[in-house]
Amino acid sequence: MKKLINAPADVVVEALAGLAAAHPKLGVDLEHRVVYRADGPVPGKVGLVSGGGSGHEPLHGGFVGFGMLDAAAAGEVFTSPVPDQILAATQRADGGAGVLHIVKNYTGDVMNFEMAAELAEGTEIATVVTNDDVAVEDSLYTAGRRGVGVTVLLEKIAGAAAEERRGLAEVAAIAQRVNDRGRSMGLALTSGTVPAAGKPTFDLPEDRIELGVGIHGEPGRRRIPLPSAKEAATLLVEPVLAELQPSEGVLAFVNGLGATPLLELYLLYGEVAALLDKHGVPVVRSLVGPYITSLDMAGASVTLLALDEELLRLWDAPVDTPGLRWGA
Amino acid sequence: MKKLINAPADVVVEALAGLAAAHPKLGVDLEHRVVYRADGPVPGKVGLVSGGGSGHEPLHGGFVGFGMLDAAAAGEVFTSPVPDQILAATQRADGGAGVLHIVKNYTGDVMNFEMAAELAEGTEIATVVTNDDVAVEDSLYTAGRRGVGVTVLLEKIAGAAAEERRGLAEVAAIAQRVNDRGRSMGLALTSGTVPAAGKPTFDLPEDRIELGVGIHGEPGRRRIPLPSAKEAATLLVEPVLAELQPSEGVLAFVNGLGATPLLELYLLYGEVAALLDKHGVPVVRSLVGPYITSLDMAGASVTLLALDEELLRLWDAPVDTPGLRWGA
Amino acid sequence: MIEAWIREFARLVVAEAPRLTELDSAIGDADHGSNLSRGLTAVVAALDEGSFDDDAALLKKVGMVLVSTVGGASGPLYGTFFLRAAGALPGGVPSAFRAGVDGVAARGKSTTGEKTMLDALVPAVEALEAGKDWGEVLAAAEAGRDATVPLVARKGRASYLGERSAGHVDPGAASAALLVAAAASTLG
Amino acid sequence: MIEAWIREFARLVVAEAPRLTELDSAIGDADHGSNLSRGLTAVVAALDEGSFDDDAALLKKVGMVLVSTVGGASGPLYGTFFLRAAGALPGGVPSAFRAGVDGVAARGKSTTGEKTMLDALVPAVEALEAGKDWGEVLAAAEAGRDATVPLVARKGRASYLGERSAGHVDPGAASAALLVAAAASTLG
Ligand SMILES: Nc1ncnc2c1ncn2[C@@H]1O[C@H](COP(=O)(O)OP(=O)(O)O)[C@@H](O)[C@H]1O
Ligand SMILES: Nc1ncnc2c1ncn2[C@@H]1O[C@H](COP(=O)(O)OP(=O)(O)O)[C@@H](O)[C@H]1O
Ligand SMILES: [Mg+2]
Ligand SMILES: [Mg+2]
Ligand SMILES: [Mg+2]
Ligand SMILES: [Mg+2]
């Protein structure tokens, strides 16, 4: 394992300390591994809290700041945070107008956030669970779909709604709408390496990729020959489009999984944009880069969000976080 | 070789097409592989042109936009652009107030920009050559030091000066000051793979790194055992500090070389900040992320820029490019 | 005896952590061993420090420590197991076990046959309730664990793999078999 | 004859491109072969299309195509070689060669002993000027190329390696030896 770390056990705390050192607008509670707005909680604003396992940076700590999250709880690598942490984040975010929990749909995340919400007396909590990954078959009898790329877009858009001082129910409804209108699909060229495990989670021959991976270094739905970028775009976009009816144009998000450089992401974006054009789907906004990653996994995912007028306006609103920043 | 590409020969053009598709404020001349401000040239503003081999994304094309570059010429991977390309970029940037060529100090880049400047009749050209890499021994009898991380900071700061409508000589002097006050050092955990070569440029055992690498996948000055992040910070910061006398505080820039995720970069940043603190060097601004990369090389570099009041103000000024954006 | 059970479980988990993570690498996210050994190391520290009014108080502490140190899916699940078991302990070990297992199913919204820890826990508690000896109870847990191999996962991360989850032991079933093994050697 | 020289150089470069890139991987950035073969493929296309008043015009075209298709260090250097050689060609092949080599040194601010293409080019042009036959000229170029092995680079990318650049053939010296080999088999 080749990583710029000290001891595997200290990775999460040390990375959080570095994040806070680099961004004076953020505070960090190292005991609870919570990143929070240094100027928070903002009185009268709905607080936005997310969290999950580490290894997905900049998600979630890098999305704390004006116009996005108020606090984020960082679990161990690929392990959801515990209720105490989520509770501490909730307190940091509570400006008296209630707190929205943004939870990616993984059994562990859902259960730990549930337990935290049960414990959070005196704070009104609403919860939105993202589950946008079309690689996973959805069924009443399974854990359901994973939350992936849509989470980034949701945190931005719901964050803007909260800055407008919308109430908790409204912010939660907007967040839910983002989840419902967004779908994602990913592929991996290589496995990532969990620091504590010390070696790659899976082996992948030079000429094979995993199609339908999430963001936890897990193997995907099937192993296929290495596709060209054009083929990759088709493999990622078609299953997403099969479930979306974008009428007013989409936000197209090409996400890097950690070790894939921008050169390739932009090349892939070009193929995605061309394919959407062929399908007559207008792209009105785009996002290209590593925003929800899977440690040092090479690969990419595509998320499409069917925008409407309000979602577009909220997406364009100012944001000031380490991971996304404009207009501020 | 595992990359999200089509044919190796098409990587550069296709990535540029994707960049332009993702960013409507940019235009792209695919024949000359030039990215330019769609609203340019800006009359009366000094034009900023840079360029170099591809494989360093977001540098340079991703730094085109308000407050930074006016145009960038993209060579083949790790191969400087040819004079025709640089000339085309110069024309795109020429708003009548002269054009600054920002050149990283590599024999090929220097010669091709020189030839382009000789050919650019009717446009006043000034040139600044970055050479901030302390890994390379400087000497009158050699090619001198490489230009690396400082280039990013220089493009931002000189870009802000040009937006203030400073004249060509002034913008060039500010750019030169940035170069003179900045130093960098890098290390690689793995080699990158040049698409046309198809395999890693060098082999590195699991327990060894290359210290003193640049951004072209070239081997470094020496091969040493894999250091901890704390040791890595020392290896990178000490040789930089040995050459800088920062009096008014520094901008500390921890750069990822392409395949190293933010988790590790922030962790390393924490160590760098702690070390600077120990040396009594105040950090007044920071930048953490993959901004000047070396394809899919894993590794990082540290750049320190000794700020002064003017450089700080220009750094903070609004910028709107795919790679750096704030205040706009 | 209850304390010995927990300490033995901790010992087994720490010793087997690499294997549990290995199993989780195949069909999960390669952290089950480190999750549980982090939690049980904290549990042992809490046992070393604290003194408890009774075994129920001790089990409650175990549950709380696991909930607040493990995270992931297994943290709330094992935490719930011990919290519920603590409440039912006055009724004896079999009813504590039953309460724990039912707690896992409720918290996880899961049942047997979904390739989870329940596939080891449920056969074990049924054997216990049927009055079998601990050797048989352990055999039931291990048989349940091994029977997860052909299953297609429907809960937890392995469910994302669909058909590809078949052919592997479920990591949580493997750790649950350790829980029963520890009970067999300390409560028997 | 001049056209045959260029076409033979192109053939050799394309055939040897992987080896040139391999050499550049060791002490450079792994692109010398692809740089030159891109350029010389464009040169051949230009020769196929164009007709030229004389050999000087042809060499000028070669230089211009190389400058505008190769990039990197070798583009301006080989480009300059042919542009200068074109100007001096009326004085004969040896003076064309001399002008080309001097152009490389001027453009690259370099001299022999710095582990560059000049280490192959300069001995060759000196042999040529001394009236040696092409076999001897080629031998001089190849000896110069091989003599780059122990050198520590002072120019080009290999200079960044310091002492570690010793022990390898300079890629540009290797391609320059192909230029002379092509001359030897077509101009001889
Ligand atoms: N809904 C559930 N009900 C019961 N057990 C579950 C459930 N989801 C997951 N598990 C168990 O948890 C184990 C995984 O634990 P662990 O790897 O620590 O957490 P995570 O899946 O969050 O990484 C699985 O092997 C399975 O036995
Ligand atoms: N200043 C110089 N003078 C002469 N030759 C040089 C000089 N710099 C580099 N070279 C030659 O160019 C070769 C490298 O060419 P190439 O790999 O195509 O370009 P780059 O170094 O830009 O990647 C070197 O092997 C060397 O022979
Ligand atoms: Mg996990
Ligand atoms: Mg090159
Ligand atoms: Mg797991
Ligand atoms: Mg080269």
Query: Which of B32, B60, B101, B216 is labelled catalytic?
Result: B216
Domain count, chain B: 2
Say if residue B176 is in the same domain as residue B186: no
Copy the structure tokens of residue B93. Answer: 């940037």
Say if residue B112 is in the same domain as residue B172: yes
Say if residue B272 is in the same domain as residue B207: yes
Backbone angles phi, psi at D166, to 5 degrees: -70, 150
Say if residue B174 is in the same domain as residue B196: no
| DSSP count for chain B of H helices, then E strands | 8, 14
| In-domain check, residue B55 | yes
User: Any idea which architecture D2-186 has in CATH?
Assistant: Alpha Horseshoe (1.25)
| In-domain check, residue A295 | yes
Whole-number pLDDT of residue A140: 67
- CB of D39 within 8 Å of any CB in chain B? no
| In-domain check, residue A194 | yes
- Residues in chain C within 8 Å Cβ distance of A76: 31, 34-35, 38, 71-72
Tell me whether residues C72 and A217 touch, CB distance under 8 A. Answer: no
Say if residue B228 is in the same domain as residue B95: no
CATH (domain of B244):
3.30.1180.20
Say if residue B123 is in the same domain as residue B205: no
Whole-number pLDDT of residue A202: 87
Residue C106 has pLDDT above 70, yes or no: yes
User: For residue B183, what are the β-bridge partners?
Assistant: B304
Say if residue B196 is in the same domain as residue B168: no
Is the bond preceding A8 in cis, omega lying within 30 degrees of 0? no
Per-residue pLDDT of A250-264, as tens digits, reads 999 999 999 999 999
CA B324 to CA B322: how far, in whole Å?
6
Say if residue A140 is in the same domain as residue A202: no
Per-residue pLDDT of B11-21, as tens digits, reads 999 999 999 99
Whole-number pLDDT of residue C161: 87
**Alpha-carbon distances of C170 from A195, A313, C120, C166, D25, rounded to whole Å:** 22, 46, 10, 9, 46
Across chain C, mean pLDDT equals 96
Tell me whether residues C71 and A76 touch, CB distance under 8 A. Answer: yes
Look at phi and psi of residue B142 and say left if phi exceeds 0, alpha if psi is from -120 to 50, else beta: beta
Q: Which of C11, C5, C124, C102 is nearest to C55 (CA)?
A: C5
Say if residue B81 is in the same domain as residue B97: yes
Name the B residues in 163-202 with CB < 8 Å from any D CB: 194, 196-197, 201-202
What's the complex ipTM?
A: 0.93
Which of B111, B137, B204, B215 to mutate to probe the D interface, most D CBs <10 Å?
B111
State the virtual CA torsion across A129, A327, B292, A284 in degrees, nearest 10. 60
Per-residue pLDDT of A204-249, as tens digits, reads 999 999 999 999 988 888 999 999 999 999 999 999 999 998 888 9
Measured from the alpha carbon of residue C25, the closest ligand is 5
From the CA of D29, give the closest atom in ligand 2: 23
Q: What distance in Å separates residue A324's CA from the closest CA in chain B?
A: 9
Per-residue pLDDT of B283-322, as tens digits, reads 999 999 999 999 999 999 999 999 999 999 999 999 999 9
CA B257 to CA A263: how far, in whole Å?
12
**In a structure prediction context, what are the per-residue pLDDT tens digits for chain B, which is 328 residues long?**
999 999 999 999 999 999 999 999 999 999 999 999 999 999 999 999 999 999 999 999 999 999 999 999 999 999 999 999 999 999 999 999 999 999 999 999 999 999 999 999 899 999 999 999 999 877 667 788 999 999 999 999 999 999 999 999 999 999 999 999 999 999 999 999 999 889 998 889 999 999 999 999 888 889 999 999 999 999 999 999 999 988 889 999 999 999 999 999 999 999 999 999 999 999 999 999 999 999 999 999 999 999 999 999 999 999 999 999 999 9
Say if residue A300 is in the same domain as residue A191: yes
Domain boundary among B128, B154, B180: B180
| In-domain check, residue B223 | yes
Mean pLDDT within D61-67: 98
Say if residue A22 is in the same domain as residue A65: yes
CATH (domain of B49):
3.40.50.10440
Are the beta carbons of B292 and A321 closer than 8 angstroms? no
Which of D19, D31, D118 to mutate to probe the B interface, most B CBs <10 Å?
D31
| In-domain check, residue B26 | no
CA B161 to CA B170: how far, in whole Å?
8
- CB of A216 within 8 Å of any CB in chain C? yes
Least confident stretch, A81-85, B138-142, C149-153, D99-103: B138-142
Q: Which domain holds residue A74?
A: 11-155
**Alpha-carbon distances of A168 from A128, A129, B161, B174, rounded to whole Å:** 11, 15, 44, 49
Q: Is A222 exposed, middle or buried (CB count within 10 Å of its CB: 0-12, 13-18, 19+)?
A: middle
The DSSP bridge pattern shows strands B71-77 and B47-54 to be parallel
CA C128 to CA C134: how far, in whole Å?
8
| In-domain check, residue A110 | yes
Tell me whether residues A79 and C68 touch, CB distance under 8 A. Answer: no
User: For residue A27, what are the β-bridge partners?
Assistant: A36
Per-residue pLDDT of A86-106, as tens digits, reads 999 999 999 999 999 999 999
Are the beta carbons of B161 and B170 closer than 8 angstroms? yes
Whether CATH 2.60.40.10 fits C2-187: no
3-state secondary structure at position A145: coil
Residue boundaries of the structural domains of chain C: 2-187
| In-domain check, residue B323 | no
Are the beta carbons of B57 and B15 closer than 8 angstroms? yes
Q: Is the CB of C123 under 6 A from ligand 1?
A: no
Say if residue A31 is in the same domain as residue A151: yes
| In-domain check, residue A315 | no
